[in-house]
Chains A and B, each alone.
Chain A
Amino acid sequence: MNGLLSVENLQTEFHTEEGRAVAVDGVSFTIAEGSSTALVGESGCGKSVTAMSIMRLIQSPPGYIRGGRVMFDGRDLLSLGEAEMRAVRGNDIAMIFQEPMTSLNPVLTIGYQIAEALRVHRSLGKREAWEAAVRMLELVEIPDPAERVATYPHQLSGGMRQRVMIAMALSCDPRLLIADEPTTALDVTIQAQILELMEALREKTGMALLLITHDLGVVAEHCEQVLVMYAGRVVEQGAVADVFAAPAHPYTRGLLRSLPRLGGSGKRLATIPGMVPPLDRLPSGCRFRDRCESAEAACAASDPQLQECGSGRTMACPLWCELGSLAATESRP
């Protein structure tokens, strides 16, 4: 495994009227060249802040990246100058967001907006860039690309706009695409189209994907690796198939059990009691202990760190890690 992106001990905080909130607190992970990794967790767990920190798009003030390194291709992105960072964005790492309408300029044609990226990053001429834009629309399977290229964002549906965003993101052949909830605003049949397209394009171009989502079903079907975040920390990490077959951290287990699923006709759902604590009122020790069914007195005393738990998996719960064989965890206490 070749590390393309390696985030080490990332720390991002926000200063608000109520005080300091550490939204991302010591997050570390690696993304291999050409791989697909999902970053999952509930609202406020820090997944989007992690992505925005990698791209250095945290608005400051109120946000500050306080520590850590973001190694991409041998360089620490956090130490680059603004001009160098601009060259990385779009060229090496591209990003797409949940709501394409807010990321597109409403008064410019989609062709102009795709071509602009090519002119800036690839120094293409006007005409060449326009032609390349048409090819990009073709790549993302927009029908009649030669005509659609001259339309404005409001003339397109949500699904088509997200295709345009993908075309724009891929126009400079990035090596990593960060997609922040790219299908959350879309209907399920359109979501299926977009996810399928992203997977096909990943195979075709060899780029790596960091997919941020709250939908565990999407993770199971479209990603190889998964990082589960809770209250600013990664609590479990591993191959999707392993983690979903035998989730180790009590939070991951609770999350998977509380998922409504097909075939669950008329059943009550298992739940995790309580809710995510606000960042300024985190409990001492393990941040999940208030909601955890296995919590013990020791959980309040020490802050659990991510540790190796068998084949390529790490997680932040000493209780469940000590139990050994992960495959057997479901039947344990």
Chain B
Amino acid sequence: MSTALLKTVSLVKSFSAAGNLFGRGGGTVHAVNDVSLEIKSGETLGIVGESGSGKSTLGRLMLRLLEPSAGRVEFDGVDLASLPRRELRRLRRRMQIVFQDPYASLNPRMRIGAIIAEGMRVHDLAPRAEVKQQVLDLMERVGLSRDVFDRYPHEFSGGQRQRVGIARALAVSPSFIVADEPVSALDVSIGAQILNLFIDLQEERKLTYAFISHDLRVIEHISHRVAVMYLGRVVELAPARSIYTSPRHPYTQALLSAVPTVEEKGRVERVVLGGEVPSPLNPPPGCAFHPRCPLAEERCRIEVPELKAQREDATHQSACHLR
């Protein structure tokens, strides 16, 4: 883990929200607002946040599945926006995505084997005669039995479909995978199997992950570093251990304390946040978290806090005037 494989620099993505029939209520939503971070080779960056925090948009920006409104994404030192279509396509072989909904992300009219093989064919990665063997090997690796090669997605459970999604991503031997809530739709016992598969594959193939989830418990198991997002901004960025043992940002603290756990010991005092996540159409001025923050002061209502390193630990960044 040394060099940055992926880097975002002051990344912004805004969407214009259509107004109602009469043109009222429209505006601009900054889904991702000024995000700068790095993911090192071989590392998992966990991206956690509630609905509307911009985590999925950030994941799609990293792969240039969405065009940024400002800022840039560098993959292996190359600015993605500068690449012509052809070269972008070549680079895409090295970056893949696994989606949350294994029902919606597999073509229902294609057989499992063909779904997994498609990327290999498109990128011309293996001679025809060898494709099938490679697909079968991959299927075996992700825990699918070889005899499902000719079956269709609807014949499978959610967990098995997610294995197909993972095999499809691996088929082109990528170095970077964005996993967007890959276990959220699965039952606990199946989710654990899939999470372990991600962990094992990373070790075997030196993969780099951006792992997106709303579930802090899942994020902790898989991540080396964690970015906490709130209304489009990263509010805390730190090594996983440090974020879970000594969260700095009041939002991270509240989020952690809100996680229901089965353990008695080590239970932190629950901070139940009042209010709700404000509309991203009309975010509060200053620190976007201030209306719900137990510590907010005058300054928080005016100035947007910057993400900056903590004095006692340079690897731990937090965007709070007070912490």
Question: Nearest chain-A residue to B50 (Cβ)?
Answer: A187
Decide: A269 near B196, CB < 8 A? Known: A42-B187, A260-B221.
yes
Say yes or no for B29: interface residue by CB 8 A criterion: no
- Chain A, residues 246-265, CB within 8 Å of chain B (1/0): the string is 00000000111011111111
Residue in A42, A196, A220, A262 whose CB lies within 8 Å of B220: A262
**Interface residues of B, CB < 8 Å — how many?**
43
- Contact call B216/A188, Cβ cutoff below 8 A: yes
Looking at A24-32, A113-121, A209-217, the stretch in contact with chain B turns out to be A209-217
Looking at A12-20, A270-278, A311-319, the stretch in contact with chain B turns out to be A270-278
- Contact call A263/B51, Cβ cutoff below 8 A: no
Say yes or no for B293: interface residue by CB 8 A criterion: no
**In B252-285, which residues have CB < 8 Å from any A CB?**
254-256, 258-263, 266, 270, 272-274, 276-277
CA distance A157 to B276 in the complex (A): 8
- Chain A, residues 11-55, CB within 8 Å of chain B (1/0): the string is 000000000000000000000000000000011000000000000
With a 10 A CB-CB cut-off, give which of A160, A189, A267, A271 has the most chain B CB atoms.
Answer: A189
Decide: A275 near B157, CB < 8 A? Known: A188-B216, A265-B244.
yes
CA distance A225 to B193 in the complex (A): 28
Say yes or no for A221: interface residue by CB 8 A criterion: yes
CA distance A160 to B192 in the complex (A): 32
Question: Nearest chain-B residue to A269 (Cβ)?
Answer: B192
CA distance A269 to B217 in the complex (A): 11
Say yes or no for A191: interface residue by CB 8 A criterion: yes
- Contact call A260/B215, Cβ cutoff below 8 A: yes
Residues of B within 8 A of A192 (CB): 258, 260, 270, 272-273
CA distance A38 to B217 in the complex (A): 21
Residues of A within 8 A of B258 (CB): 188-189, 191-192
Residues of B within 8 A of A244 (CB): 262
Say yes or no for A190: interface residue by CB 8 A criterion: yes
Say yes or no for B241: interface residue by CB 8 A criterion: yes
Residues of A within 8 A of B262 (CB): 216-217, 219-220, 244, 256, 259, 261
**Interface residues of A, CB < 8 Å — how many?**
44
A-B pairs with beta carbons under 8 A, tally: 129
CA distance A102 to B136 in the complex (A): 43
Say yes or no for A193: interface residue by CB 8 A criterion: yes
- Contact call A188/B241, Cβ cutoff below 8 A: no
Say yes or no for A266: interface residue by CB 8 A criterion: yes
Decide: A217 near B50, CB < 8 A? Known: A192-B272, A268-B199.
no
Residue in A189, A219, A267 whose CB lies within 8 Å of B221: A267
CA distance A218 to B262 in the complex (A): 8
- Contact call A221/B188, Cβ cutoff below 8 A: no
**In B59-88, which residues have CB < 8 Å from any A CB?**
none
**In A139-158, which residues have CB < 8 Å from any B CB?**
157
Say yes or no for A159: interface residue by CB 8 A criterion: yes
CA distance A258 to B159 in the complex (A): 15
CA distance A260 to B222 in the complex (A): 10
Decide: A217 near B240, CB < 8 A? Known: A260-B192, A265-B220.
no
- Contact call A258/B188, Cβ cutoff below 8 A: yes
Chain B residues near A (Cβ < 8 Å): 50-51, 157, 159, 187-193, 195-196, 199-200, 214-218, 220-222, 224, 240-241, 244, 254-256, 258-263, 266, 270, 272-274, 276-277
Q: Which 5 A-B pairs have the closest CB atoms?
A: A217-B260, A258-B192, A187-B50, A42-B187, A192-B258
